[in-house]
Chain A
């Protein structure tokens, strides 16, 4: 048995931090998999409860130098405490930074001033910046190095030297060295990095707004009928089968089926669809949606973690933590990055010392510290997770559930969209449009409906509905057999009845009857054979959704090839395809062969996005590079696709693909700027511009540049909120 636990982790500031925690968890005995999300500051661990416990996992995280608490409901409380603490440290550092910068301008340099500056700097380095040192030390003990290492070595060197000058000014003066101190650099670096952390924490908060908004859709109190009276109870106490009353303007608390009353329900928060949906007895209602004007009673069918809303929240949360393959590049680079930067800083020191102007060791130290500070790979660590987080949050807001960062990358590269016809391009609620019995139409319909009564296939349901509309009584069926993609058969009143397509009849050796061409054009022809002979056929039509052709046009304008696939006959498929503007069609494809069609396109080198309803095309959705499931009437789809469209029409497909394309573009921009920044910043900090232009950076300027690069990456990602 495997348990999964989500543990809030504090103190992680960069990709290297999260990968270190992840590694520690993965190495911990009994852990099957561990995924640490930098943006939500959470570790999600699957483990075997027999071999380890949540407490052991918390201890494993703490051994890496980060904070971890056992999961509690008040995670956001915990998060707020961390933010408040950070804000206080930032405020202190900024006040001291201004003082330390201004004091030497108004007070003449003296031993007393240096002592004053040392006194002001101590609380900043010892309290506000302390965590950088403890984390750097923990990392060092594990043979790893991250941005904390760079900050700790940089500020530590500058502070150590300045403190030595303050305490032993006489010794330095006697040796001809001016008693120069760098306290302002130390304080500014810490202040600016804390500022970056603070802004990052705020961005995290903004990105998880999407989840908070979804959680906020649940009402806290529910009106329930108990013993014939309406009572108000907390949401947690609602049970399955409870009768719940919803009044105008109230949110529907859980999933269920309407028992009595009528109303229109605004489902836009889940589907993005702005038009309210009419609900009457028998209609399914979803928790979190908003009742408009009517009053109705409904029976709770799913509560707690099993509701659609709870599953969406869980999926969005999980998705925000997954890493797209492009992140691996960033991780690999940051693993070797820090040792390389430390080496560069040492080399910078040596070169300035050997060939730099006097006082050589002073310039050497300043240049070395500046290299360490400017190279903090914060922007690189933020480049991918911020974009993934904002994009998945944005997606949830427009009815597009994206299941992870890897999906974003694949979907943005898709070049072929394979559309399943039924329920995707068409309404998926087929209607019997004509009953053509060779002898007795009514009797044939009655027998066909009796067989199909046990089947959940949409065509079967259409036949049953047609018989009910005609007021026919259904007969009991024995020996019912369903043949996927072909039809069904059974014994009704002692007669063997086959209901299905041409293939079913061929399989069973029933001689076919010719069907007029215009009949085939109108829809799917379902043959009915009784005791081995064709008794007639039903024509079942499935109207095309009004938005399908717009969606196909949009997909084509995005440069995508659009192909339709269906189990239906050639003629029906061709007429639907022509109506929506699709040129390439694969008809009469059995559900199990849809997967092969996907495979064939993949072998041709296409990256395939398959769109289906997630019910009978689940294998094809899984085989496709990106499975896009349309929620339609069923909730199965929520888990079926890599992307799930909450709205039941095709326009969600171009919207989803466009969002993933924009996200990948933002990720690429972020990575590009983060790399360029280091590529340009490090040589300047090392002093390559000094010989020709006399240009050098101070450590404090380097800290400012680093903070700016982090902020620009975060801002760029936040643009996706409006994508």
Chain B
């Protein structure tokens, strides 16, 4: 159960990071 919770949380964090890194930070670095 614990493993599932950890994987889910890590997964959500990873998705957030991927979208931030490529879309938001990417756009910012391209505009700068």
Residues on A lying within 8 angstroms of B by beta carbon are 23, 142-145, 336, 338-339, 342-343, 346-347, 349-350, 353-354
Contacts and interface: CB of A to CB of B under 8 A. Distances in A.
A346 B18 contact: yes
Nearest to B3: A353
Contacts of B15: 343, 346-347
Contacts of B23: 336, 339
Given A343-B15, A346-B11, A354 B22 contact: no
19 contacts: A23-B30, A142-B26, A142-B29, A143-B22, A143-B29, A338-B22, A339-B18, A339-B22, A339-B23, A342-B18, A342-B22, A343-B15, A346-B18, A347-B15, A349-B7, A349-B11, A350-B11, A350-B12, A353-B4
**Dominant secondary structure at the A interface:** helix
Interface string B1-32: 00110011001101100110111011001100
A353 B7 contact: yes
Contacts of B14: 346
Identify the 9 closest CB pairs spanning chains A and B, nearest first.
Answer: A143-B26, A350-B11, A339-B22, A343-B15, A354-B4, A353-B7, A342-B18, A346-B14, A143-B29
Given A143-B25, A346-B15, 12 more contacts: A143-B29, A145-B22, A338-B22, A339-B22, A342-B18, A343-B15, A343-B18, A346-B14, A346-B18, A350-B7, A350-B8, A353-B7
B19 A343 contact: yes
A654 to B, nearest CB: 44
Given A346-B11, A354-B4, A339 B19 contact: yes
B26 to A, nearest CB: 3
Contacts of B30: 23, 143
B20 to A, nearest CB: 9
A143 B21 contact: yes
A354 B12 CA distance: 13
Contacts of A339: 18-19, 21-23
B9 to A, nearest CB: 9
B22 to A, nearest CB: 4
Nearest to B29: A143
A559 B11 CA distance: 56
Nearest to B13: A346
A147 to B, nearest CB: 14
Contacts of B11: 346-347, 349-350
A631 B11 CA distance: 63
B1 to A, nearest CB: 10
Contacts of B4: 353-354
A342 B19 CA distance: 9
A175 to B, nearest CB: 12
A336 B24 CA distance: 11
A354 B18 contact: no
A142 B22 CA distance: 9
A145 B18 CA distance: 10
A336 B23 CA distance: 7
B26 A144 contact: yes
Contacts of A338: 22
Contacts of B22: 143-145, 338-339, 342
Most buried by B among A336, A342, A346, A349: A346
A187 B7 CA distance: 28
Contacts of B12: 350
Contacts of A353: 3-4, 7
Nearest to A349: B11
A317 to B, nearest CB: 29
Nearest to B8: A350
B18 to A, nearest CB: 5
Nearest to A139: B22
A425 B30 CA distance: 52
A339 B27 CA distance: 13
Nearest to B32: A27
A144 B26 CA distance: 6
Contacts of B26: 142-144
Contacts of A143: 21-22, 25-26, 29-30
A336 B27 CA distance: 11
A145 B26 CA distance: 10
A167 B28 CA distance: 42
Contacts of B29: 142-143
A339 B19 CA distance: 6
Contacts of A343: 15, 18-19
A183 B29 CA distance: 37
Nearest to A343: B15
Contacts of A350: 7-8, 11-12
A22 to B, nearest CB: 12
Nearest to A145: B22
A366 to B, nearest CB: 15
Contacts of B8: 350, 354
A349 B14 CA distance: 12
Nearest to A341: B18
